[in-house]
Amino acid sequence: MIRLLRKPIMGSLFAILAAIIVGGFILAAAGHNPIQVYGGLVYGALGRPRFIVNTVIMSTSLILTGLSVTFAYKTGLFNIGVEGQFIVGTIAAVFLGFFLNLPPVIHPIVVMLGAMVASGAYGALVGFLKARFNIHEVLSSIMLNWVALNLLNLYIGVERFQRLPTVAHTIQDSANIIIAHEMKRTPEGIARLRESEFLTEVILRTDFNFGIFVAIAAVIVVKFVLDKTSLGFALKAVGSNRDAAEFAGINVKKHMVLSMFFAGSLAGLAGAVHITGISPNTISMLGGFQNFGFNGIPVALLANAAVVPNIFSALLFGGMTYGSGYIQSRHGVATEIIDIMVGLIVFFVALRAVCILVADRLERRVGK
């Protein structure tokens, strides 16, 4: 029992449970029945095949941005620049998706790789500024997030890149990764999909795309790199004890830049998957951040900065976000309750140490 309390997952479960309880009080204070609303939330996220698919779509980019934050964290860096890297990834994806003419399958792969290189370089810049000029990564990242946002508006502002005055060109069909996207364009295709009730539900009525497989593949690759390769070893050594790593002859600065490159490229991949996998498959001018990148931070926090748990953490947040639409229309609950819940979870994750304290106390009382 006490050993169980010490497991990291208990801290995460504690955070979720505590957020549910406190959120329940807030709902009750607002005049709602918490049990009904929570029931509605679960139904809205998982209650129908279509809802499940949309939860998965919502979670796909969260897995990747969470992974980006986790990766940087392993090298002892806080990648708050994940938002800007995501945006740079979307710009690169739209550019490559529209201007290149490549066969299907190859085209989206090239788009994703291109976005990864662009965002990787954008992330590496933060690492370089830290290694060379000792500028804290949080400061430079926050600045570069705004730079990315304005870069996007600048891009769309160029006539050659825009379809409408505030919208960039839509990517070519060959770059699209939405499942059966060509069938969904023609009346015959739609008619054929309609023959099956199930396909109508999960393919025709959603943007179900291959992104989730890309995200899971990325999780596997990152897990492999960190656990099994000498590169991952050096990155973790720098993250766990920079002084000892330096003293043992590991080039700390080089590995900080590398780590931020990989973190940036994961955020860029999230951006590319978002563009190629969700209609309208383009970018439009932004007045402020859409938080696709930032949302990776709570995902990574809840996952305790471990690689594989990012998947579950992202599914939870993705489900909550998607399910909030249902409780708004059905129960009249403002979707802001979900932002409050996410905030509460992060708050209680920070209090995770409580579990360890309880374990310590119990141990002292019973003698292990």
Partner 1 sequence: MTAVRMKGITKNFGDFRALNNVDLEVQKAGIVALLGENGAGKSTLMNILYGLFPADSGEIFINEQKVNIKSPAHSIAHGIGMVHQHFMLVGKLTVAQNIILGAEKTRLGFFDKKKINAEILEISEKYGLFIEPDKKTDEISVGMQQRVEILKVLYRGADILIFDEPTAVLTPQEITELMSILRNLANAGKSIILITHKLKEIKQVAEICTVIRRGNYIGSVNVADVSEKQLASMMVGREVILNVEKQPPSPHEVALEIKNLFAEDENSVVKLNSLNLQLRKGEIYGIAGVDGNGQKELVEAITSLLKVKSGSIKMNGKEIQNTSPANVIKNKVSTIHEDRHRRGLILDFSVENNAIIGRQGEFSERGILQFEKINAYASELIEAFDVRPRGCEKQPIKSLSGGNQQKFIIAREVFNDPDLLIAVQPTRGVDIGAIEFIHKALVAERDKGKAILLISLDLDEILALSDTIGVIYEGKIVEELENINVDENRLGLLMAGASV
Phi-psi group of 69: left, alpha or beta (phi > 0 → left; psi -120 to 50 → alpha; rest → beta)? alpha
Decide whether 194 or 228 has the Cβ nearer to partner 1.
228
Residues 6+ apart with CB under 8 A from 39: none
Figure out which of the listed residues 247, 279, 336, 357 binds partner 1, where binding follows CB under 8 A: 247
- x/- string (CB under 8 A) for partner 1, residues 312-341? ------------------------------
Tokens of 133: 């000029």
Figure out which of the listed residues 9, 248, 351, 357 binds partner 1, where binding follows CB under 8 A: 248
Q: How many residues bind partner 1 (CB under 8 A)?
A: 22
* 78-107 positions binding partner 1, by CB under 8 A: none
Q: How far apart are CA 181 and CA 105, in angstroms?
A: 13
Figure out which of the listed residues 31, 187, 287, 367 binds partner 1, where binding follows CB under 8 A: 367
Least distance CB 262 / partner 1 (angstroms): 14
Tokens of 67: 């992974």
Residues 6+ apart with CB under 8 A from 119: 85, 86, 88, 89, 92, 264, 265, 267, 268, 269, 271
Burial class (CB in 10 A: 0-12, 13-18, 19+), 263: buried
Neighbours of 106 (CB within 10 A): 12
Decide whether 85 or 259 has the Cβ nearer to partner 1.
259
How many residues comprise the chain? 368
Decide whether 123 or 239 has the Cβ nearer to partner 1.
239
Figure out which of the listed residues 103, 249, 287, 288 binds partner 1, where binding follows CB under 8 A: 249
Residue 351, SS3 per DSSP? coil
The 3 state secondary structure assigned to 238-282 is HHHCHHHHHHCCCCHHHHHHHHHHHHHHHHHHHHHHHHHHCCCCC
Decide whether 29 or 366 has the Cβ nearer to partner 1.
366
The alpha carbon dihedral of 110, 115, 117, 120 has a sign of negative
Figure out which of the listed residues 134, 287, 353, 364 binds partner 1, where binding follows CB under 8 A: 364
**Cβ atoms of 252 and 241 closer than 8 Å:** no
Neighbours of 80 (CB within 10 A): 22
Decide whether 188 or 243 has the Cβ nearer to partner 1.
243
Decide whether 248 or 350 has the Cβ nearer to partner 1.
248
359 binds partner 1 (CB under 8 A): no
Decide whether 197 or 243 has the Cβ nearer to partner 1.
243
Cis amide bond preceding 309, omega within 30? no
Least distance CB 244 / partner 1 (angstroms): 5
- x/- string (CB under 8 A) for partner 1, residues 214-243? --------------xxxx-xx-xx--xx-x
Least distance CB 72 / partner 1 (angstroms): 17
Q: How far apart are CA 334 and CA 144, in angstroms?
A: 32
Decide whether 245 or 301 has the Cβ nearer to partner 1.
245
7 binds partner 1 (CB under 8 A): no
Pick from 10, 13, 63, 59: nearest CA to 220:
63
Decide whether 220 or 244 has the Cβ nearer to partner 1.
244
251 binds partner 1 (CB under 8 A): yes
Q: How far apart are CA 362 and CA 368, in angstroms?
A: 8
Figure out which of the listed residues 22, 179, 180, 250 binds partner 1, where binding follows CB under 8 A: 250
Decide whether 52 or 252 has the Cβ nearer to partner 1.
252
Tokens of 83: 């938002």
Least distance CB 245 / partner 1 (angstroms): 7
Q: Which residues bind partner 1 (CB under 8 A)?
A: 228-231, 233-234, 236-237, 240-241, 243-251, 364, 367-368
